[in-house]
Structure 1
Amino acid sequence: MTLNQTIQESLVPLTGKLSNTDIVVTSLCAGAIAGALAKTTIAPLDRTKINFQISEKPYSTKKALKFLIQTLKNHGFFALWRGNSATMARIVPYAAIQFTAHEQWKRLLNVDASGKSPGKQFLAGSLAGVTSQSLTYPLDLARARMAVTPKDQYATLRQVFLKIYRQEGLLTFYRGIIPTLLGVIPYAGVSFYTYETLKRQYKEHIGHLNIPQPITSLGFGAIAGMLGQTSSYPLDIVRRRMQTDMINKYPSISGTLKLIWFNEGLKNGLYKGLSMNWIKGPIAVGISFATYDNIRDTLRTVVLKYR
């Protein structure tokens, strides 16, 4: 048996002994926990990024720190996590669906674990992102609204949905979904592909079949997150502008791109806040991937033990 064949078999040491229902349930649980932990960790930075993304004010690290300090002084410590309840309401099902969908898409596409089908591996990640984003998009829009508006305007997640429905209509819940889906294709594809590739190469290089240590997985996830977010960042800007637009200033993807390009330029417009994303993104994705792998494998070991 060749090294690649041995590695291919070892990459799924537990799934071969579990039913697909066991695989789905453990993936859903691990993904939900991983997403919640990752997003809560970087919530203050996420809120800061969104506030700059939706405005025409130029971004800088100094101004981002000033925003964080002013929020802390004027509204208190927990204001840094404003909108996190909406984030949790979205990220728990989003992450659970995304990780589970990724495993299922890999199975359906017959992705070769030894790395011989990179196109399918990228496609599995992209389809996982599209699946989870499509099913949870209204929650993402609600979270963006809560992050950038005063507390008295949208005090609760329920208020967000009621006000948007009554004042702006049902279709508003899907405003910005096209740039979101266009952005998630390279983001999720690059992220999952990079992470899986780094894990496989790590195992080949060190010459044994144990899974990477959590700190190693964290590093691989950080690299994957940085590459994934950089590849899709302009569409993330467009998504946020359209989601928080209450006066129909940004009615289309092309119109939004043109407005940002002509009024704000490339660095201060389409890539505004990217440097912060290089901080928060790798942290979040690293925590998410590392947590998911470890909790998933722990749950599957428990299932096998007590079956």
Structure 2
Amino acid sequence: MSSKKEKPLHSLTAGAIAGAVEAFVTYPTEFVKTRSQFEGKKESPIAIIKDTLRTRGVTGLYSGCTALMVGNSLKAGVRFVSYDHFKHMLADKQGKVSAPRSLLAGLGAGMMEAVFAVTPSETIKTKLIDDAKRPDPQYRGLIHGTTQIIKQEGLSGIYRGLFPVMMRQGANSAVRFTTYTTLRQYVATRMPPGQSVPSSFTFGIGAVAGLVTVYTTMPLDVIKTRMQSLTARQHYRNSFHCAYRIFTEEGLVRFWTGTTPRLVRLMLSGGIVFTVYENIIKLIGGREQS
């Protein structure tokens, strides 16, 4: 790993911009994935897209997008700052970070982002998507939806599913950063002296990291979505009860529902986030010698 350290403010700025860009570009895949994970009739991604376009138009595919953009911007900022902090805490005297230590740094970063950004934004986003498929939606947008959720359920209403979110984000970041860091180090050692890793390589490495992340963390994502739905309190006592009911009533395969749209999103996400982040860090001169 490079001995250069990202400046915290610059890392936060680059991460926030990268997160917002990624959320907007990939949101339709997130919408389809979330819709497919709700209880009830199983719908294919194509069927969900056709139904949404027919009933609500293109804007329907962006229901809850603002919540995710705000949350993703904050999430990515917290993630990169936290990961960089933990990474340099765990680095050896030469500034190198081994794969196990990178895994630990990613796990810590994921836990931080789950508490400070992901759980509230994902809960609101999930409830807005769930509400949008009703004949007569009760939420008129991000601000109205958020105030109504807090009014009806209290502050805990936007922190539903905290445990599975922490588990998912911890696993997400641990797997993604470890895969990305390991592959990037491998590519960097094979580049000519003084030449940085090209953006095309960064995008490809990030996409591979996204692919590995999807298949290893999908069950946690399904449980998270169920726990954050509008009817969660009527069906599940907690995350473990939710997992038990899905397994016994719907089968093991149900834990991988929504894999295709999530796979598309996280492969694009990994490529977009790391590429935008690296380029903004270069643009604003955000690295200093540690």
Alignment of 1:216-231 (within 5 A): 216-231=201-216
How many angstroms does 1:209 deviate by?
4.1
Distance 1:64 1:47 in 2: 10
Amino acid corresponding to residue 55 of structure 1 in structure 2: E
Distance 2:93 2:127 in 1: 41
Say what the alpha-carbon RMSD is for the aligned residues.
Answer: 2.1
Q: Return the match for 2:29 from 39, 45, 50.
A: 45
8 Å Cα contact 2:91-2:97 kept in structure 1:
no
CA separation of 1:255 and 1:117: change in aligned 2, threshold 3 A: same
Structure 2 unmatched runs, 5+: none
Amino acid corresponding to residue 131 of structure 2 in structure 1: T
- CA radius of gyration, larger in: 1
2:104 is the counterpart of 1:104: no
Structure 2 residue matching 1:248: 3-state secondary structure: helix
2:64 is the counterpart of 1:83: yes
CA separation of 1:260 and 1:209: change in aligned 2, threshold 3 A: farther
Aligned residue number for residue 183 of structure 1: 168
8 Å Cα contact 2:3-2:96 kept in structure 1:
no
8 Å Cα contact 2:171-2:217 kept in structure 1:
yes
TM-score of the pair, normalised by structure 2: 0.90
Q: Return the match for 1:264 from 250, 262, 282.
A: 250
Alpha-carbon deviations, 1:241-294, whole Å to 9, x = none? Answer: 001143431221221111111221122x11111122222211112111111111
Aligned residue number for residue 64 of structure 1: 45
8 Å Cα contact 2:127-2:230 kept in structure 1:
no
2:107 is the counterpart of 1:129: no
TM-score of the pair, normalised by structure 1: 0.86
Structure 1 runs (4+) deviating above 4 angstroms are 111-116
8 Å Cα contact 1:142-1:160 kept in structure 2:
yes
2:39 is the counterpart of 1:55: yes
Aligned residue number for residue 20 of structure 2: 36
Aligned residue number for residue 199 of structure 2: 214
8 Å Cα contact 1:58-1:272 kept in structure 2:
no
Alpha-carbon deviations, 1:218-258, whole Å to 9, x = none? Answer: 11001111111221110111111001143431221221111
Aligned residue number for residue 148 of structure 1: 130
Aligned residue number for residue 158 of structure 2: 173
8 Å Cα contact 2:88-2:95 kept in structure 1:
no
CA separation of 1:208 and 1:69: change in aligned 2, threshold 3 A: farther
Structure 2 residue matching 1:205: 3-state secondary structure: coil
